[in-house]
């Protein structure tokens, strides 16, 4: 009977304990801020924006006190606010770059490399015993621009040693590289060797199968860019010798043809012809220049060239003729006698019947 009376008592104690535990659990949920973070890793671009998003739940109607800190050797307070109202003065590096939302979310403008790091957030409400806490990691990187492939020569001879392809770019941080041959990803093989950072691709003992199109892709946390493809041309050794010999023969034929067709230009070197001076402008008794006037040849007569004397009477103005006929012996006429131009005298024997010879006989 005693055991039967103790059983209902134990059940009542057990029920009381369950009610106490349930009340404590409910009261604990009311006295704590429940925080959720959708994304714990945010990747930002240099000069861009980053949204560090959080949410919280609480039964209290009071405004939350929000505090953001950046982890360093010594933590740096980024901002502290009551709701959206910032408390105190911001540090110089965060002025005009901070915006806090009602739910505790933080927005950073004009990102810098110094913004890279882990941010701790704490949200507390006066009526709640325990605050909500969490952390978000922010990375800041510079976008990649203009990747290109550099190599010493775009054409190589078969079985050449160590052809190196270098994937270069202008900007970008925390970059990684991938190489493609004919659109297929390349990995470390016997003849294809990648540098530790995979920036350089070395091809050992080039064969004809390596004649293909190559490209590289540069990646970092904020994007990836693929370079323009470049073609590596591989020549067989026998083919190269044929090309060189053919080119040499063609060059030799061209030079021979040019030398055979070329002749030096012959320019006539005639002395400039002097203008004929008017006879009446020349001074009196001026002999005719032998180089300017050549005497006409006269047919030979009895084996002797017959040369006739040539007398050229100076042109006279008709008006002066009339006046001279009336004024005989005037001073002007005496001072300016009529001028005659004679041909050079012929000192050789004269042909028979020439006027000069007849005149000599008469004299």
Domains in the chain (CATH in brackets) are 30-141 (2.60.40.10), 148-237 (2.60.40.10), 277-316+337-345 (no CATH)
- The reported pLDDT for the residue numbered 205 is 87
Judged on CB neighbours under 10 Å (0-12, 13-18, 19+), 100 is buried
Give the Cα separation of 351 and 308 in Å (integer): 10
Least confident stretch, 124-128, 231-235, 332-336: 332-336
Band of residue 261 on the pLDDT scale cut at 50, 70, 90: confident
- The reported pLDDT for the residue numbered 252 is 80
- The gap from C-alpha 153 to its chain's centroid, in whole angstroms, comes to 19
Q: Do the Cβ atoms of 60 and 127 come closer than 8 Å?
A: yes
How large is the average pLDDT for residues 59-81?
90
pLDDT above 60: residue 81: yes
CB contact burial 291-316 (16+ within 10 A = b; e otherwise): eeeeeeeeeeeeeeebbeeeeeeeee
Q: Do the Cβ atoms of 87 and 81 come closer than 8 Å?
A: yes
- The reported pLDDT for the residue numbered 352 is 53
Q: Residue 232 is encoded by which pair of tokens?
A: 């590596």
* DSSP, residue by residue, 61-92: -SPPEEEEEE-SSS-EEEEEEETTEEPSPPPG
- The set of long-range contacts for 149-156, using a CB threshold of 8 Å and a minimum separation of 24, is 149/214, 149/215, 149/216, 149/227, 149/228, 149/230, 151/230, 151/232, 154/230, 154/231, 154/232, 154/233, 155/232, 155/233, 155/234, 155/235, 156/206, 156/232, 156/233, 156/234, 156/235
- SS3 assignment, position 218: strand
**Residues whose CB is less than 8 angstroms from the CB of residue 48 and which lie 6 or more positions away in sequence, other chains included:** 110, 111
Q: Do the Cβ atoms of 185 and 236 come closer than 8 Å?
A: no
Give the Cα separation of 351 and 340 in Å (integer): 25
Band of residue 100 on the pLDDT scale cut at 50, 70, 90: very high
User: How many residues are given for the chain?
Assistant: 363
- The reported pLDDT for the residue numbered 275 is 53
For 130-167, write each residue's pLDDT tens digit: 888 999 999 999 999 989 999 988 889 888 878 999 99
Q: Do the Cβ atoms of 102 and 83 come closer than 8 Å?
A: yes
Judged on CB neighbours under 10 Å (0-12, 13-18, 19+), 260 is exposed
Helix and strand counts by DSSP (H, E) for the chain: 5, 25
The residue among 99, 78, 102, 82 whose CA lies nearest residue 90 is 78
Q: Do the Cβ atoms of 41 and 222 come closer than 8 Å?
A: no
- The reported pLDDT for the residue numbered 22 is 41
Q: Which residue has the higher pLDDT, 145 or 272?
A: 145
CA distances from 282 to 76, 279, 339 (A): 114, 6, 9
Q: Do the Cβ atoms of 156 and 163 come closer than 8 Å?
A: yes
């Amino acid at each position: 009977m005693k055991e039967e009376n103790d059983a209902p008592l134990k059940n009542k104690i057990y029920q009381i304990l369950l009610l106490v535990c349930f009340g404590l659990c409910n009261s604990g949920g009311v006295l704590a801020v429940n925080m959720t973070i959708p994304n714990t890793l945010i990747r930002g671009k240099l000069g861009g924006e980053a949204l560090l998003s959080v949410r919280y739940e609480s039964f209290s109607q009071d405004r939350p006190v929000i505090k953001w800190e950046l982890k360093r050797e010594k933590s740096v307070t980024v901002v502290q606010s009551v709701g959206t109202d910032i408390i105190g003065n911001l540090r110089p590096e965060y002025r005009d770059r901070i915006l806090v939302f009602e739910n505790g979310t933080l927005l950073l403008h004009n990102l810098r490399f110094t913004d890279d790091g882990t941010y701790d957030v704490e949200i507390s409400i006066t009526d709640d015993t325990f605050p909500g806490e969490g952390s978000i990691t922010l990375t800041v990187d510079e976008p990649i621009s203009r990747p290109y492939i550099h190599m010493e020569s775009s054409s190589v001879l078969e079985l050449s040693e160590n052809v190196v392809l270098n994937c270069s770019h202008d900007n970008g941080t925390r970059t990684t590289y991938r190489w493609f041959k004919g659109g297929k990803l390349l990995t470390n093989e016997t003849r294809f060797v990648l540098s530790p950072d995979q920036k350089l691709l070395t091809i050992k003992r080039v064969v004809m199968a390596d004649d293909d199109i190559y490209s590289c892709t540069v990646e970092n946390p904020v994007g990836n860019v693929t370079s323009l493809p470049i073609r590596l041309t591989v020549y067989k050794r026998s083919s190269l010798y044929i090309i060189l010999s053919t080119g040499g023969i063609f060059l030799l034929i061209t030079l021979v043809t040019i030398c055979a067709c070329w002749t030096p230009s012959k320019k006539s070197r005639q002395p400039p012809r002097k203008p004929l001076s008017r006879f009446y402008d020349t001074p009196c008794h001026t002999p005719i220049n032998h180089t300017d006037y050549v005497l006409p040849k006269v047919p030979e007569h009895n084996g002797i060239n017959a040369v006739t004397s040539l007398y050229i009477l100076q042109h006279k103005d008709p008006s002066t003729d009339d006046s001279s006929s009336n004024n005989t012996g005037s001073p002007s006429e005496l001072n300016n006698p009529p001028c005659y131009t004679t041909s050079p005298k012929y000192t050789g024997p004269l042909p028979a019947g020439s006027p000069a010879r007849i005149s000599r006989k008469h004299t």
